[in-house]
Amino acid sequence: RGSTVRQPPLRIAHVSVEMAPIAKVGGMGDVVTALARAVQEEGHEVEVVLPKYDIINYDEVRGLRLVKDFFYANVQTKVWAGEVEGVPTTFLEPTSGAFWVGCIYGRNDDAARFGFFCGAALEYLKLHSDIMPDIVHTHDWATAPVAFGDLGGATKAVFTIHNLNYGADLIGRAMGAAAACTTVSPTYAAEVSGHPAIAPHMDKFYGIRNGIDQDIWDPITDRFLPRSYSSADADAGKSAAKAELRSRMGLSGAEAPLVAVVTRLTHQKGIHLIKHAAWRTLERGAQFVLLGSAPDPRVQAEFNALAGEMARAYPDRARCWFSYDEPLSHLIYAGADILLVPSIFEPCGLTQMIAMRYGTIPVVRKTGGLNDTVFDVDDDMARASQQGMVCNGYNFEGTDPAGIDYALNRALTSWFSEREVWGALVAQVMEQDWSWSEPALDYIELYYKALKRT
């Protein structure tokens, strides 16, 4: 960066199995859309190639049209074009019905279905698109085979790890073949550097922190909130959102801080710490709201039990909402005072950044991207100023209850006893920039670097 020589614009094709808002399971879907948009805004040509799932809400795809079809592995595959959030998107639809199964992941033939998609995507890019892109950017195990497939010509692969926990063998092969590899935060990059899939490739491995889409996550324009607000009137805006949230959840309107969790309920997210913190929150006179669901029925059963026990012990102060509900997530980010993210590991994490955008103070475990985005108001002054950041939340180390108690107790005590300090912190965290502008420039620089690699 910083060079005054203008480089030629790039053609970039993302090959992904998730894309927000139409096909999203976790943060990866958000990243693909927001990164594509931010790079496009810098003057490059960007396209996303996605399976044509039956579960997509096609109202959110503009100008969808059938363009052509081709045969790959003896399967007729239709090529559809449209636009998602302003990003040109190509949908591949094998007529075998591999993506007409009512879900993105979770079947025992996921690897075969996505393997087919990767082969078809390569075939499409090489033979059936107008021009082969300069960069093919692929994401996680599901599209790793594109990175180690035969791209042909001068095209280079860039591969991003959103979560090393799934499909490490495929990830290792993609790491070897790609011209450049990234993961989604500097701390996670350092944490995984010893992994056998990563260690041999450290010379071309970079940690670039994710951003959030600040147009989607914006309390000034958010249509899911009872009233809009900015850092200047955060108190009024957050109070209105809190009142609405409480009434929807059947919680009392007493003067109390509200602690929230918005997450997939998986081991990664620190399940035992979430449960512990829920009880600690209630013991301290605060309210607790959880939005999430567990793909594993045993974990879901544990949380059903927890919800029942909390409702009996504290009838009007705790509520668990077991669904995937985007509008409700907006209301929670705005109406909560504290967002808890006690992940055991967290490649980047988006919820802590979204929360801060809405003036909700994060309490996080010091790991991965949580470490790169949350700086403890009591402990991280020096680290924050070194990195040009502000202190903006609370964090803890370790995986035992004492750690999370340490951070959560300090946050709650501050809310109860130093309301002016708390209010100033809320206004300050809302002013931070979590947009994709900076990270997108890092990716663009990396794309040019990848093109130069032989």
Pick out residues in 264-323 that bind ligand ADP (CB under 6 A).
264, 291-293
CB of 118 vs ligand ADP, minimal distance in Å: 21
| Tokens encoding 285 | 């006179």
CB nearer to ligand ADP: pick between 72 and 394? 394
Q: Which of 185, 329, 395, 414 binds ligand ADP (CB under 6 A)?
A: 329
Q: Binding to ligand ADP by residue 439, rule CB under 6 A? A: no
Q: 450 with 135: CB under 8 angstroms?
A: yes
Nearer to ligand ADP, 151 or 216 (CB): 216
Burial code of 356-365, b = ≥16 C-beta within 10 A, e = fewer?
A: bbbbbbbbbb
Cite the DSSP H helix spans in 336-436: 351-357, 368-373, 381-386, 401-417, 419-430
Both structure tokens of 305: 């039990």
Q: Are 401 and 273 in contact (CB under 8 A)?
A: yes
> Which lies closer to ligand ADP via its Cβ, residue 111 or residue 344?
344
Site for ligand ADP in 113-142 (CB under 6 A): none
When the beta carbons of 32 and 291 are compared against ligand ADP, the nearer one is 291
Does a cis peptide bond (omega within 30 degrees of 0) precede residue 88? no
- Nearest residue (CB) to ligand ADP, 83 versus 325: 325
Return the residues of window 335-374 that contact ligand ADP according to CB under 6 A: 348-351, 354
Size of the site for ligand ADP (CB under 6 A): 18
Give, as ranges, the residues between 34 and 53 that touch ligand ADP (CB under 6 A): none
Contact at 8 Å (CB) between 424 and 19? no
Q: Which of 210, 349, 208 is nearest to 270 (CA)?
A: 349
How far apart are the C-alpha atoms of 98 and 111, rounded to whole Å?
11
**Residue of the chain from 236, 247, 295, 324 that contacts ligand ADP (CB under 6 A):** 324
Using CB under 6 A, which of 10, 16, 22, 26 touches ligand ADP?
26
Shortest Å, Cβ 238 to ligand ADP: 18
Length of the chain: 454
- What's the CA gap between 396 and 309, in Å, rounded? 27
Distance CA 198, CA 243 (A): 47
| DSSP for residue 203 | G
How many Cα atoms are found within 13 Å in the side-chain-facing hemisphere of 10? 29
Q: Residue 8 carries which DSSP code?
A: P
- Nearest approach, Cβ of residue 20 and ligand ADP (Å): 8
* Closer of 177 and 278 to ligand ADP (Cβ): 278
Nearest-approach distance from CB 66 to ligand ADP, in angstroms: 31
Among 262, 306, 440, 446, binds ligand ADP (CB under 6 A): 262
Query: By the 8 A CB rule, do 40 and 86 touch?
Result: yes
Nearer to ligand ADP, 120 or 404 (CB): 404
Amino acid occupying residue 410:
R
**CA dist., res. 76 & res. 80, Å (int):** 13
Q: Which stretch binds ligand ADP (CB under 6 A): 46-54, 106-114, 120-128, 256-264?
A: 256-264
Task: Kindly give the residue spans of alpha helices, DSSP state H, lying in 6-157.
Answer: 27-41, 110-123, 140-147
Closest contact distance (angstroms) between CB of 205 and ligand ADP is 20
Decide whether 321 or 394 has the Cβ nearer to ligand ADP: 321
Distance between CA atoms of residues 295 and 436, nearest Å: 30
Of the two residues 354 and 430, which places its CB atom closer to ligand ADP in the complex? 354
Out of 30, 85, 123, 191, point to the residue binding ligand ADP (CB under 6 A). Answer: 30
**Residue from 158, 98, 86, 117 nearest 17 by CA:** 117
CB of 33 to ligand ADP, least distance (A): 11
When CB distances to ligand ADP are compared, the closest residue is: 27
Instruction: In angstroms, give the least distance from the CB of 324 to ligand ADP.
Output: 4
Nearer to ligand ADP, 341 or 451 (CB): 341
219 binding ligand ADP? (CB under 6 A) = no
CA distance linking residue 451 with residue 454, whole number of Å = 8
* Residue 90 sits in the site that holds ligand ADP (CB under 6 A): no
Q: Cα angle vertex 177, ends 175, 178, to 5°?
A: 70
Q: How far is the CB of 346 from ligand ADP (least distance, A)?
A: 7
Residue 411: closest CA among 370, 371, 364: 364
Q: Is 325 in the site for ligand ADP (CB under 6 A)?
A: yes
The residues binding ligand ADP (CB under 6 A) are 26-27, 30, 262-264, 291-293, 324-326, 329, 348-351, 354
